[in-house]
A and B are shown apart, each in its own frame.
Chain A
Amino acid sequence: MFSKLVKHEFRATARIIPFIFMVTVFLGLVHVLTVRLNLGVLSVFSLILTVLMCFAQVIIAYALVIWRYYKSMYSNEAYLTHTLPVHPSMLLWSKLLVGFVWTAASYITAIGVGFGVAAAHMFKTAGEWQNFVTGYHQILKAIGIEHSQLLMWFVIAAALLISIVLVLSEVYFSISIGSTSKMHSLGIGGPILVFLGTDMSLRILSALAALFIPLGVRFTTNASGELIGLKFVVQSMFSQVVDSLNSTGMASSSGDSGIAGIGSYLLLPVFVAALLYTASRVITRHTSIK
């Protein structure tokens, strides 16, 4: 049944979202063409449109995925959705999976088109591409992570993907809670209020986790402020603040270092699990379609 839910969810969403991605790719190609043909004003105009579209399509993908969730779970279409012979949590998971695929695809399209446009400007000869690659490796070497670049890209990709899941989980949770019978009188205001409250709470928890969980990245800079090292450390931002206060006036003139707490990332899966578990329970036990 899950595969059928996913199939029909894709079918319902695939009529609009890929079309928006195609518009972005088309604009990017038009820009590359105008660059190759040296069409001055047109080139600038198409660049502005492409950049705007890269951002807009991510926002549109989120908006459509969220609107689809609300429409199919809590408006007239819910009369069909909630009478399907599937466990209610399956409805949530199928919508989360499809929503995730579309929003991740919107980021990938934006990054791909952005890179393509940048490449059209920067890499007009093979030598320029070689210079870029060399420069990239020099930066990695300078900050001491030339041997762990795979890990770096993995961490960046994982952080992006899990943040997509977090946003969708937060919104689905808010819509599900805000559509229970106790909040019917608030209309669309119910989910919005729940979202604001949830988002604020998660931000506070994340800030506390970043401060107090002993996990961070130490940034080391030279005397002129350039980044010369990156290192994972088992130390909290708070302890570094305390250390800094204790050693006031003893700063080294040859450079500086600071810790950025990343403990909040450890909490992201916990947030996601808690939000989805609660949303699933609410859908199962407190659904009340108007």
Chain B
Amino acid sequence: MIEIQNLNKNFGTNTVLSDLSLNLEAGRIIGLLGPNGSGKSTLLKILAGLTSDYRGTVLLDGHRPGEDTKAVTSYLPEKTYLSGWMRPVDAFDYFADFYADFDRVKAAEMLKQFRLNERQPIKNMSKGMQEKLQLVLVMARKAKVYLLDEPMGGVDPATRSAILDVTLRQYQEDSIMIFATHLISDVEKIFDSVIFLGYGELKLFEDVDRIREKYGKSVDDLFREVFACSVSL
């Protein structure tokens, strides 16, 4: 479903992704893990078609990121992207107009589950409420590829559970989901595989079951070991 060959991306003299190669199959939830600045968001932006000045080959369902792939890719950025004047109903109109796979009924149900008012302007919502609304918009699509960048970054633990629940329930079995997060212990139970990105380089790409079998550790423990920082006081 996703094929990445020798992907390189620089910001000026700073290398963000270096010779990255990956082959990701459909029907899996993949954790994209790495310390801050390791290139997770950049990789997701490239897959989503937000960054086009990279070197290497990137194919989603056989196509370069573009008009065709955007129709089947549902991307949740870490930033809030809706205009302040919009209300959830306006955002639903917007998504329904552009994405043929957007399910308005499902979106309304999820909105209710998150106890959001569909007539409340976004500018009057807290950051957490805005994040929930964006998750609703993204997960109400029957996409082939889901790219979630820190979907639980700014929310309380109870909401994290609700987000995880919604994500799992709406996920389509024949699609692929890449889930970038720092909150590994909260989420690792839903991952089929994990990718460890360390400063632009692929450190590990392994099934979660295999990690437990091979290293006798949880993903969270292995992450801490691989990316350990020595701090002297």
Interface on A for B, CB 8 Å cutoff?
1, 4, 7-8, 11-12, 15, 76-80, 82-87, 180-182, 184-185, 284-289
Known A85-B70, A284-B52, A287-B51: A79·B97 in contact at CB below 8 Å = no
Contact A15 B70 (CB under 8 A): no
Whole-angstrom CA separation of A253 from B173 in the bound complex: 92
A85 with B99, Cβ < 8 A, contacts A15-B85, A76-B79 known: yes
Which residue of the partner chain, among A7, A80, A82, A180, contacts B49 with CB atoms under 8 Å? Answer: A82
Please measure, in the bound complex, the distance between the C-alpha atom of A85 and the C-alpha atom of B82, giving whole angstroms. 17
- A86 B81 Cβ-Cβ under 8 A: no
Indicate if B227 sits at the interface (CB-CB under 8 A): no
Question: Would A80 and B82 count as touching, CB distance under 8 A?
Answer: yes
Contact B50 A76 (CB under 8 A): no
What is the bound-complex CA distance between A281 and B98, given in angstroms? 23
B75 touches A83 (CB 8 A): yes
Q: Is the CB of B98 within 8 A of A84?
A: yes
Chain B contacts for A4, CB-based, 8 A:
97-98
Between-chain CB contacts (< 8 Å), 22 pairs = A1-B98, A4-B97, A8-B97, A11-B90, A76-B80, A77-B82, A77-B83, A80-B81, A80-B82, A83-B73, A85-B70, A85-B99, A86-B70, A87-B67, A180-B53, A185-B12, A284-B52, A286-B52, A287-B51, A288-B52, A288-B53, A289-B51
B183 within 8 A of A: no
Q: Is the CB of A285 within 8 A of B67?
A: no
Please give the distance in Å from A147's CB to the nearest CB on chain B: 51
How far is A182 from B12 in the complex, measured between Cα atoms in Å? 6
The interface residues of chain A lying within 8 Å CB-to-CB of B85 are: 12, 15
B176-200 near A? 1/0 per residue, CB < 8 Å: 0000000000000000000000000
Which of A79, A83, A182, A285 interacts with B52 by CB under 8 Å?
A: A285
- B215 surroundings in chain A (CB, below 8 A): none
Closest residue of chain A to B97, judged by CB?
A: A4
A-B complex: 5 closest residue pairs judged by Cβ atoms: A85-B71, A79-B81, A85-B70, A79-B77, A80-B81
Shortest C-beta distance, B85 to chain A (Å), equals 6
- With a CB–CB cut-off of 8 A, which chain B residues contact A85? 67-68, 70-71, 98-99
B70 close to A83 (CB less than 8 A): yes
Check if B48 is an interface residue, CB within 8 A of chain A.
Answer: yes
- Given A83-B48, A86-B67, A285-B52, 19 more contacts at CB 8 Å? A1-B98, A4-B97, A11-B90, A78-B50, A79-B50, A79-B77, A83-B50, A83-B75, A85-B67, A85-B98, A86-B70, A86-B98, A181-B51, A185-B12, A286-B52, A286-B53, A287-B50, A288-B53, A289-B50
B151 CB to nearest chain A CB (Å): 14
**Closest-CB distance, A205 to chain B (whole angstroms):** 29
For residue B98, which residues in chain A have a CB less than 8 angstroms away from its CB? 1, 4, 84-86
Q: Are A181 and B53 in contact (CB under 8 A)?
A: yes
Assembly CA distance A8 to B99 (angstroms): 14
A184 and B79 form a contact (CB under 8 A): no
User: Is B45 interfacial (CB-CB < 8 Å)?
Assistant: yes
Contact of B53 among A1, A185, A287 (CB under 8 A): A287
Shortest CB-to-CB span from A149 to chain B, Å, is: 45
Q: How far is the CA of A287 from the CA of B52 in the complex (A)?
A: 5
Contact with A along B58-91 (1 / 0, CB 8 A): 0000000011101101010101111101000010
Q: Which residues of chain A are within 8 angstroms of B50 by Cβ–Cβ distance? A: 78-79, 82-83, 287-289
